[in-house]
């Protein structure tokens, strides 16, 4: 019997690298102050500020979904980049709080970007249903790595672009943590908040997104939970805090080393916004305390996978972050997982 010769499989031509070309964010309008929370649990503004740095947080209305916020952030990022939503061939959403298992959040975002209809909304009265026959939409992927989800998702999008399976990707971190908050638990309800942030990544002639460095800490696997059947956020705050103070700088240093840069080159630190008492020592431990250190936690609380892209986008659009500057993104949390990369901030 003759064995047929199997032809070599072909792979698409990749790109030299990827680059962030636009940033966007969305926060619900409703703001909850520390004093507001002190009306329903035994706490006070002084304790919350001194232990966490949080002053306010934004809370989504009952009928607002993770996909709604993700879509708004994606539209803002696409507008910022001047990229047509129809050119997007990959949507990745990092979230741990989507209420539905299917369609995933990225699928809903892709539908909304394609049709202009908000996720979950019906077509406006008098308008025809969009005709989507024979439309090939983007790849749609949700990534659940809780608070480090966005850095993981940027890593996946960068690799998809470098290997030629995407040219234009929208990467989003979006969370409705208040939907999984136990409002009678003062140790957690003071922390959690809602929002979304997004970045548009495109193929580039030279890498402007460094390699993702990712890993996990098996001993802390049960330290951050949103577990069935209660489906409420719970954590061993002290254990996570201890890890963040003693280990996070080492992991973040590996991220910078992998990029081929040194910490001296890094101009911006965007760490997961879990606690100001973690962000500031981390910046100091890395010798970055005199650079731009994003501290959006004070006004936005902890928004898990949304915290890095939202902080980056808010500070970028506020003009607090310089253009074309190496920024260290570093996320950590549920899993227990961490991930990061050095990215060049977009050109203005």
Q: Which residues are catalytic?
A: 147, 272, 302
* Residue 43 lies near ligand UT7 (rule: CB under 6 A): yes
Alpha carbon distance 147, 264 (integer Å): 26
Q: Name the strand (E) or helix (H) holding 309.
A: helix 307-317
- Cα–Cα distance between 317 and 213 in angstroms, integer? 27
Is residue 113 within 8 Å of residue 84, measured between CB atoms? no
In the set 55, 211, 241, 247, which binds ligand UT7 (CB under 6 A)?
241
Whole-angstrom Cα distance, residue 227 to residue 236?
A: 14
Residue 95 engages ligand UT7 in binding (rule: CB under 6 A)? no
Nearer to ligand UT7, 106 or 271 (CB): 271
Of the pair 43, 71, the CB lying nearest ligand UT7 is at 43
Count Cβ atoms within 10 A of the Cβ of residue 125 and give its class: 0-12 exposed, 13-18 middle, 19 or more buried: exposed
Residue 333 is a binding residue for ligand UT7 (CB under 6 A): yes
Question: Do 323 and 346 form a contact (C-beta atoms < 8 A)?
Answer: yes
State in angstroms the smallest separation of the CB of 191 from ligand UT7: 6
CA gap 7, 159 in Å, rounded: 25
123, 163, 187, 246: which one binds ligand UT7 (CB under 6 A): 187
Paired tokens of 26: 């969305």
| Stretch binding ligand UT7 (CB under 6 A), from 21-29, 45-53, 258-266, 311-319 | 45-53
Judged by CB under 6 A, the residue of 275, 295, 300, 345 near ligand UT7 is: 275
Q: Is 39 exposed, middle or buried (0-12, 13-18, 19+ CB in 10 A)?
A: exposed
Output 166 or 303, the one with its CB closest to ligand UT7.
Answer: 303
Count of residues engaged in binding ligand UT7, rule: CB under 6 A: 21
52 touches ligand UT7 by CB under 6 A: yes
Q: What is the helix (H) or strand (E) element at residue 340, kind and residue range? A: strand 337-344
Q: Which residues pair with 19 in a beta bridge?
A: 202
Binding-residue pattern over the window 99 to 118 for ligand UT7, x denoting contact by CB under 6 A: --------------------
- Using CB under 6 A, pick the residue from 39, 133, 238, 348 that binds ligand UT7: 238
45 lies in the binding site for ligand UT7 (CB under 6 A):
no
Q: Which residue is nearest to ligand UT7 (CB)?
A: 237
Cβ distance to ligand UT7 smaller for residue 140 or 308:
308
Strand-pair category, 268-271 with 232-235: unpaired
Task: Give yes or no for residue 237 binding ligand UT7 (CB under 6 A).
Answer: yes
Q: 96 in helix, strand or coil?
A: coil
Nearer to ligand UT7, 241 or 285 (CB): 241
Residue 190 in contact with ligand UT7, rule: CB under 6 A: yes
- In the complex, minimum distance from the CB of residue 330 to ligand UT7, in angstroms, rounded to a whole number: 12
Using rule CB under 6 A, residue 148 touches ligand UT7:
no
Nearer residue to ligand UT7 within complex by CB, 242 or 254: 242
Distance CA(341)–CA(327), nearest Å, equals 8
What are the residues whose beta carbons fall under 8 Å from the beta carbon of 58, sequence distance 6 or more?
27, 28, 29, 30, 31, 32, 193, 194, 195, 300, 301
Chain residues that interact with ligand UT7, rule: CB under 6 A: 43, 47-48, 51-52, 147, 186-187, 190, 224, 235, 237-238, 240-241, 244, 274-275, 278, 302, 333
């Amino acid at each position: 019997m003759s064995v047929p010769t199997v032809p070599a499989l072909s792979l698409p031509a990749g790109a030299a690298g990827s680059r962030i070309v636009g940033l966007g964010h969305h926060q619900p309008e409703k703001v909850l102050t520390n004093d507001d929370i002190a009306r329903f649990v035994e706490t006070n503004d002084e304790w919350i500020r001194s232990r966490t740095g949080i002053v306010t947080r934004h809370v989504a209305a009952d009928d607002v979904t993770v996909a709604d916020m993700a879509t708004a952030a994606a539209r803002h990022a696409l507008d910022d980049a001047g990229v047509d939503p129809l050119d997007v061939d990959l949507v990745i959403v990092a979230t741990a709080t989507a209420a539905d298992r299917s369609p995933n959040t990225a699928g809903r975002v892709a539908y909304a970007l394609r049709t202009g209809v908000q996720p979950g909304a019906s077509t406006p009265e008098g308008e025809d249903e969009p005709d989507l026959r024979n439309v090939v939409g983007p790849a749609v992927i949700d990534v659940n790595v809780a608070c480090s989800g966005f850095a993981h998702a940027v890593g996946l999008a960068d690799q998809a672009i470098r290997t030629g399976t995407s040219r234009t990707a929208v990467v989003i971190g979006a969370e409705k943590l208040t939907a999984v908050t136990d409002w009678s638990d003062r140790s957690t309800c003071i922390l959690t908040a809602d929002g979304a942030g997004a970045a548009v990544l495109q193929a580039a002639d030279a890498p402007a997104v460094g390699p993702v460095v990712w890993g996990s800490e098996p001993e802390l696997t049960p330290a951050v939970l949103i577990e069935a059947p209660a489906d409420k956020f719970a954590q061993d705050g002290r254990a996570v805090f201890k890890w963040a103070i003693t280990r996070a700088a080492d992991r973040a240093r590996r991220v910078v080393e992998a990029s081929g840069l040194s910490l001296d080159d890094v101009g911006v630190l965007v760490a997961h916004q879990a606690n100001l008492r973690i962000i500031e020592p981390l910046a100091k431990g890395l010798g970055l305390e005199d650079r731009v250190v994003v501290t959006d936690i004070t006004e936005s609380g902890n928004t898990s996978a949304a915290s890095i892209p939202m902080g980056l986008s808010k500070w970028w659009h506020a003009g607090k972050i310089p253009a074309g500057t190496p920024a260290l993104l570093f996320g950590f949390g549920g899993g227990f997982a961490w991930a990061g990369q050095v990215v060049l901030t977009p050109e203005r």
